Amino acid sequence: MKNLNIPFITRLVLIFFLSSTLLAACNSTAPEPSPPSPVSSAAGSTATETQQPTETLTQPPSATSPPSRVVLVVPPAADPAQSDALQSALAELSAAEGLEFEVQPALAPGNLTPALRLVVVLAPDPGLVSLAGAAPDVQFLGIGIPGLAPATNLSLIGSQGMSPDQQGFLAGYLAAVVTPEWRTAVMSIGDTPSGMAARQGFLNGVVFFCGLCRQTYPPFYTYPMYVELPGGASPAEWQAAADVLKDKFVQTVYLAPGAGDEALMTSLAEAGLQLIGSQTPPAAMQAAWIASVGPDYITPLQAIWPDLMKGEGGADLPAGLAVSDINPELLSPGRQRLVEELIQELQSGFIDTGVAP
């Protein structure tokens, strides 16, 4: 007799085996690959974008670099105080522009490279016109150099010199501010218009501060005083003039430009007089030196700087007024503020020196 249950059992085993296999496949955790992201083509169809490794492209260097240097030319005979002030100002201005700054005693046409943005030249003139003509793409600036005319790449500051009456007026005001009883005097050149303007400017500056300038205690003299000699006067003649001021109990003397020499300054200082001049004093004079009254090149330099950086030249600006070489033992900060206020009023035209041009 045949066993009819065997095929049924066989089918049952097969069904169980297939079910177990399918269940294991559904529970698998293997990650599926993500499909590529579709991108739209210009025609509107969708295509598959394949991710490619990226590469950073470096911009090739420019064939020409912009000028990056500012040079200050300081001839050996230049005024040290002016040189120091200009170096400090130009170093600060250049750093703000990201430019290199250097100081040279001279500059030949062969050294005018394309890297130069600006060349500043301090008096005395080392041949500025020739330098500017040899490098038309470089801007040049002359400081305190007379007899020049501006050009496309040549600008000037103080080419006309200082106003002697304003310089004298400021010195007179300064002398009156620091001198008890206003016992002041000026020594000046008497045979030139600038010398006479400096003398009268000084006298007016003293009176502007002290009015009648009368003394409270003897000896009683009329101050301010002045002595003036021709430009060719000998040292002995200047010394004799100084002796007159000593005899009149003058305490402060303004040596106008061109008056006397270092021996005269030494004589006045040894006699106990205080001095105001127009240049940096010798080291031996510093204890008796109140201050120097001279040109201010920094303020006009700051005004013209943006144009120079843009390559725009041709300006001709006057120099301002400045007080330097200040002795703090003789000119206090409070009195110095009075002097600074006067400078602003003089330069703005609010105060007139009273000296006919």
- Asked whether the beta carbons of 116 and 136 are under 8 A apart, the reply is no
| DSSP assignments along 14-34, one per residue | HHHHHHHHHHHHHT--PPPPP
Q: What is the pLDDT of residue 91?
A: 96
From residue 6, give the alpha-carbon distance in Å to each of 3, 11, 19.
6, 9, 20
Residue 57 CA to residue 54 CA, distance in Å, equals 10
Share of the chain above pLDDT 70, in %: 82
Angle at 44 between CA 42 and CA 47, to 5 degrees: 85
Residue 167: pLDDT above 60? Answer: yes
Q: What is the pLDDT of residue 7?
A: 55
Who has greater pLDDT, 52 or 280?
280
- Asked whether the beta carbons of 224 and 187 are under 8 A apart, the reply is no
Whether this model's pTM surpasses 0.85: no
User: What is the average per-residue pLDDT within 175-203?
Assistant: 96
Q: Among 179-188, 213-222, 251-260, which is the least confidently predicted range?
A: 213-222
Q: For residue 180, how many other CB atoms are within 10 A of its CB? A: 10
Residue 340: pLDDT above 50? Answer: yes
Condensed to tens digits (0 to 9), the pLDDT of residues 79-138 reads 888 899 999 999 999 999 999 999 999 988 888 888 999 999 999 999 999 999 999 999
User: What is the average per-residue pLDDT within 348-353?
Assistant: 93
CATH architecture of 69-157: 3-Layer(aba) Sandwich (3.40)
User: CATH 3.40.50.2300: which residues of the chain?
Assistant: 69-157, 164-287+326-348
CA-closest candidate to residue 120, choices 65, 157, 80 = 157
Sheet arrangement for strand 316-317: 100-104, 69-73, 116-122, 139-143, 154-157, 316-317
User: What is the average per-residue pLDDT within 243-271?
Assistant: 94
CA-closest candidate to residue 158, choices 82, 249, 75 = 82
Name the 3-class secondary structure at 40.
Answer: strand
Who has greater pLDDT, 6 or 274?
274
Q: What band does 320 get if pLDDT is binned at 50, 70 and 90?
A: very high
Q: What band does 65 get if pLDDT is binned at 50, 70 and 90?
A: low
Angle at 84 between CA 81 and CA 85, to 5 degrees: 85
Q: What is the pLDDT of residue 63?
A: 46
Condensed to tens digits (0 to 9), the pLDDT of residues 209-241 reads 999 998 898 999 999 999 999 999 999 999 999
Residue 282 CA to residue 137 CA, distance in Å, equals 41
User: What is the average per-residue pLDDT within 52-71?
Assistant: 58
Q: Tokens in use for 309?
A: 């950086």
Residue 72: pLDDT above 70? Answer: yes
Q: What is the pLDDT of residue 109?
A: 84
Q: Outline where DSSP puts E strands in 202-245.
A: 225-229
One of 3.40.50.2300, 3.40.640.10, 3.40.50.300, 1.10.150.20 is the CATH number of 164-287+326-348, namely 3.40.50.2300
State phi, psi for 286 to the nearest 5 degrees.
-65, -35
Condensed to tens digits (0 to 9), the pLDDT of residues 133-162 reads 999 999 999 999 999 999 999 999 999 888
Residue 22: pLDDT above 50? Answer: no
Is the omega angle on the peptide bond into residue 219 within 30 degrees of 0, that is, cis? Answer: yes
Q: In whole numbers, what is the pLDDT of the chain averaged over residues?
A: 85
- Asked whether the beta carbons of 140 and 155 are under 8 A apart, the reply is yes
- For the chain, what's the residue count? 357
User: What is the average per-residue pLDDT within 285-300?
Assistant: 94
Residue 40 CA to residue 49 CA, distance in Å, equals 9
Q: Among 25-29, 39-43, 287-291, 321-325, which is the least confidently predicted range?
A: 39-43
Q: Tokens in use for 129?
A: 């016109």
Q: What is the pLDDT of residue 354?
A: 93
From residue 277, give the alpha-carbon distance in Å to each of 50, 68, 72, 250, 255.
83, 39, 26, 16, 5
CA-closest candidate to residue 46, choices 36, 59, 54 = 36
